Structure 1
Amino acid sequence: MTYDKPLNYESFEPSWSVGPIFPPVMGVMWVLFVLIDMGAFLVFTTTHSLTDSLPIAILPLITVCTTYLLHEGVLALVGQWYGCEVSFGIDVERWSATPYVVTAGRKTRTQQFVISLAPLILLDGIAMIVIALSSLLSVPWLLGVIVFATNTFGSIQGIDSDIATVYRLWQLPPTVQIRDQMGEPRQYLRLQTDG
């Protein structure tokens, strides 16, 4: 993949209008999905005998870890679909180790929307189907709730979250392109404004 700018595009630094509503809404949603996850863990441990089987006892934790890996895997697959170079890493600078994917290359705004929203739509959709088809408080139902809450939490967590990316890009014209490179800040490209 080439990192050269198209001839009719120029770099620019967009200004973001976050507004007064977005940060508190994301904060409330983050707390809500953390509480849903914690509630599912609590219900799971109180409705299933953890002394009977160690695998059942650690199943919720394995589900959370697997959900994070699947989330990042979907980002990587969709990024590859659009011809991006994909690299994986773990962010250890914050309070917890968080996996991430960089989809390096030039993308349209719409392609970045699809890359950012694919894990949320795909994994949450599968989790909702599992929840709908399972008996209330059964192991599949609880694991579906854990996948749903963990994946949604992962999509809204942090300033560089998938949802924050979509929110920022939504404010830009559809002709904007994005260029990502490993270890470098994201670059935004717009149609040239001078002759």
Structure 2
Amino acid sequence: MGLAVKKSDDDYRDTSALVAQLSEGQLEVLRMVANHMNSKEIAAELDISPHTVDQRARQAIQILGVSRRQEAARLVVQVEGPSQRLIHQSPYIPEATESSQSENTVGTQIRHASRAGGSDFAGLQTEQGSARIRTSLPLPFATGSQPRNEMGVGFRLLWIVLIAIGALFSAGMYLAGLESLARLLGIQG
């Protein structure tokens, strides 16, 4: 049978005083640790090196007098309250293109295109930018319109199979070419 221990107001004030000694950088790191992010994810989010993240966490651990970064993060959350993890948004933002068409015309084209099930021309200008025809199979490398690889497992496996088939086809064509060259030169194998 365990005893329930309630923290006193003095303990809370002591914790608040310790958390107040942390720098803003240390607090940012601990908030993200509280959101279950690792050093690499935190570094990418704050645009600093993972080494700097670890250094800030170690300094905060020393100031707070705890042994692990999760404990330090728990103390920060206890004092500040929980924070919501930011949703990642791609850093790619397409440049705005100037359209020779008026906004009303574009809006009408969008409405008519959606009713007809599509558009006959690929260069349609919309409020969001130029509309392009998307293929149903995303490319396995970064492009201007898709700077991050956000394919699911199924598409990744499909690309592996397609690349393997392409490699086999290329190897077959290479061997057929060598055989044809050997016949042309009259070399017996």
Please indicate the TM-score interval, normalised by the length of the shorter structure.
under 0.3
The structure whose Rg is larger is 2
Bigger RCO (CA 8 Å, 6+ sep): 1
TM-score, normalised to structure 1, is 0.24
TM-score, normalised to structure 2, is 0.24
